[in-house]
Structure 1
Amino acid sequence: MKIANINNLNLVSVAMEALVERQEGLPGLGVYYGPSGFGKTTTVVAVANATRAYYVQMRSAWSKKTLLEKVCIEMSIPVANTVPNLLDSVCEQLAASQRPLIIDEADHAVSKSGMVELIRDIYEGSQAPVMLVGEEMLPNKLKRFERFHGRVLRWVPAQPVSLSDARLLANIYAPDLELDTAVLEMLVAISHGSVRRVTVNLVNLFEDANIRGLAAMGFDDLDRSKLYQGEAPKRSLK
């Protein structure tokens, strides 16, 4: 799968490099945050692949034991029976490999008793880079965990999709379709910052152009009824 080299990918790559290459004595935690749809998961998966980072995506039902078990599975190491033994195994593997650990959907960790402290234990026990990924309010939620908050080296706010991002995305999701700048500007304007909405609309325009036999699409060629703005269609009742 091709990944567009959009601005957020560059931001996270630079932040991860700073965590990996940090000077001795500097903390090794990072937090990448932003609204839903800003492409956070796609970018961190790309960064995980590039840096050989371990990657897990949390679920609301996970306990501390579940998180550690999932990390062990990601690491391809034996899964111990108890939380202390699981924690030791994870820390030993991270310390030995010094590969980063990325925990996506980390808002679930903040809402669970003892989960943030557990993630701090993973970092303290390994000194390997650890990056949390979550929604826009994640930094504020972490403020009440002073011992974690104070060890964050990089706070990375996800940026809204830009015109240059839209051009890069068009190369992947609407290949061989020439799109006027005015079209891309409209997609960005109605996206409210969401990379996902731009991507969905590019796919829709590409399919529409194929059906209509268009190799290029200008502003006047747009069928605005096919543009996705994140709202469910209104029902027409007669």
Structure 2
Amino acid sequence: MSKNTNAGKPAAARLPSGVANIGTLDLVSATLERLDTRRSGLPGMAVLYGPAGWGKTFATNVLAIESRAYYVQMRSAWRSKTLLEKILFEMGVKHSRATVPDLLDMVCEQLSTSRRTLILDEFDYATRSDNLIELARDIYEGSQGSLLLVGEELLPKKLERWERFHSRVLTWAPAQRVTVSDAAQLAPIYAPGLSIAEDVLVRLVELSNGSVRRVSVNLTQLHEHCLTYGAEACTMAEFDQVAIYTGRSPDRRA
């Protein structure tokens, strides 16, 4: 297998400006490297899974750019031909009036030749169809390339239905809960120029239920509140005045 030329470099040093090096980024980076440097004969698929809002799509998008992986986010209405066409579009491969077998051969050839990883996000949609699962396996078998499949927390359990597919997974990577360290790195992005007390960050993480998205949304809420009232720092006194998003629906007002 080809090797990632960025292997061994600190993840943060490779990230674009304005991107926080949260824990799930490091996890995805390590997973892609493991796929890229696996020994001959080992399976070439990995599964990244976790609850919504835990930074899976963000991390795979960022690292797809950094590693030059092909990234495709699946949709509920897609069938085999649409998926293959979307993958070829991402690959920059032109096709015209091709049959599904022809499209599959083109995807496999490009994946094998380029030695680049194919990332399929929202892969839970594929588990609704035997055809899509078998298609993903065909892509892997036909290219002997690397596939990173991304989905919700029950994705590993769902894939148990297809033993021939399940047994080809090299690594199962659970997305990481957001940490106080993650929150501190997100703060300059979502609350620029605002000094945020550590106990506020701790409380934000406690209320997030693991979600990077909720922390980001709440940092924006705090930033807007402090701008409105002219506060240069966010303490617990300011925090207590802001409606924090926890994932629960708002209470009905009379």
Do Structure 1 and Structure 2 share a fold, with TM-score over 0.5? yes
Corresponding residue number in structure 1 for 2:29: 13
Moved over 4 A (4+): none
1:138-187 per-residue CA deviation (whole Å, 9 max, x = no partner) reads 00111111111111111100111111111111121112211111100110
**Are 1:142 and 2:159 counterparts?**
yes
Corresponding residue number in structure 2 for 1:229: 246
**Which stretch has the larger CA shift, 114-123 or 99-108?**
114-123
Corresponding residue number in structure 1 for 2:120: 103
Unaligned 5+ segments in structure 2 are 1-16
Q: Matched residue pairs, number?
A: 237
What is the CA distance between 1:2 and its match in structure 2?
2.2
Corresponding residue number in structure 1 for 2:57: 41
Aligned with 2:119: secondary structure? Answer: strand
Corresponding residue number in structure 1 for 2:9: none
What is the CA distance between 1:96 and its match in structure 2?
0.7
What TM-score comes out, normalization by structure 2 length? 0.90
Partners of 1:236 and 1:77 lie apart in 2 by 54
Unaligned 5+ segments in structure 1 are none
What is the CA distance between 1:234 and its match in structure 2?
2.5
Aligned with 2:137: secondary structure? Answer: helix
Partner amino acid, structure 2, of 1:122:
I
Give 2:237's match in structure 1, choosing from 204, 214, 220: 220
RMSD over equivalenced CA pairs, Å: 1.2
**Which stretch has the larger CA shift, 47-56 or 167-176?**
167-176
Aligned with 1:78: secondary structure? Answer: coil
**Are 1:207 and 2:221 counterparts?**
no
What is the CA distance between 1:113 and its match in structure 2?
2.5
Contact 2:226 2:238 in 1 (8 A): no
Partners of 1:222 and 1:83 lie apart in 2 by 55
Give 2:81's match in structure 1, choosing from 65, 71, 83: 65
What TM-score comes out, normalization by structure 1 length? 0.96
What is the CA distance between 1:26 and its match in structure 2?
1.2
Corresponding residue number in structure 2 for 1:74: 90
Indicate the percent of aligned positions where both proteins have the same amino acid: 53
Give 1:50's match in structure 2, choosing from 66, 78, 98: 66
